[in-house]
Amino acid sequence: MAKIDFGGVVENVVTREEFPLSKAREVLKNEVIAVIGYGVQGPGQSLNLKDNGFNVIVGQRKSSASWDKAIKDGWVEGKTLFEIDEACKRGTILQLLLSDAGQIAAWPKIKEHLTKGKALYFSHGFGITFNNQTGIVPPKDVDVILIAPKGSGTSLRRLFLEGKGLNSSYAIFQDATGKAKDRVFALGIGVGSGYLFETDFKKEVYSDLTGERGVLMGAIAGIMEAQYYLLRKKGHSPSEAFNETVEELSQSLLPLVAENGMDWMYANCSTTAQRGALDWKKKFRDAVAPVFDELYESVASGNEAKITIEANRQPDYRKKLGAELDELHNSELWKAGAAVRKLRPEKNKK
């Protein structure tokens, strides 16, 4: 492992240089990796593993949109694509990439095939951490490991095809065979991770649920709405409000942050922007800190898990979810966004 200084805190991380693809292939040369679920993470992880030379099969419910997608992506029924039960039987490593709700529903069937020496792989700590609500309790004689890419499966695949990588966390919940560490490192490199950093199942799900509800999705969407509609109320046009709220952030500033950090982005903006950002940053931080405290407590208490599980159990949940997403899609803010995206020069060249 490499020791990296993260702002004064030294962490052990695993890089491709230390654990090259050739070593990963050697570790898993006798394994059959069964990717169970072909929704959000399944396509990216399975295709990257296949392209990297691993023995991969996919398990998915037949007569579903995800099954059809798998066929279009090149998986062959009866050879590399099977019903979930058959894939679990064939696999020595079961990558459980169904949704959290899907994992709960499929668990009785999956557990039947977790025979001694197999590995159970997750990309989210939800099922294990909240097992009092999910019922997911693995047998003691299998490895239980986690690789959690820090982004969507779409991003994982896109970056892989660009020759890059998406950083991932890793965790070992149970090492029954003595091979769990090699297995998890090999799988992390195999799915296309940039580097691997250590966590545990509980920390992964606590940080993940907080991040999704916070900066990554919930908070940023809420802040965008607040600023956009303030500008509209003050007489600014939809184009001006959207560009100042979303377009400049996503197309100009965030790429600079990704390239060299927030401090570097600040240093490459006008002195007026610098001064204002530094002054108002603290006000926003202090305003939202109590909300983040409340959010983290809701995650740690299991309340967020309970809300998610109960919502997904409702027979009309998909319909209600669709209505909520339609409301977002049809809002003036994101209709303005669709119009602005069509005006980007790269779109006009196609």
Residues classed as catalytic:
124
Tokens for 238, please give them.
């939809």
CA angle 296–302–308, rounded 5-degree value: 100
Percent helix, strand, coil in the chain, to 5, is 55, 15, 30
Number of CB atoms found within 10 A of residue 278's CB:
10
Angle between helices 180-190 and 42-51 (to 10 degrees): 90
Question: Helix 332-342 to helix 218-233 angle, to the nearest 10 degrees?
Answer: 90
What secondary structure does DSSP assign to 150-198, as a single string? SS-HHHHHHHHHTT--EEEEEEEEE-SSS-HHHHHHHHHHHTTEEEEEE
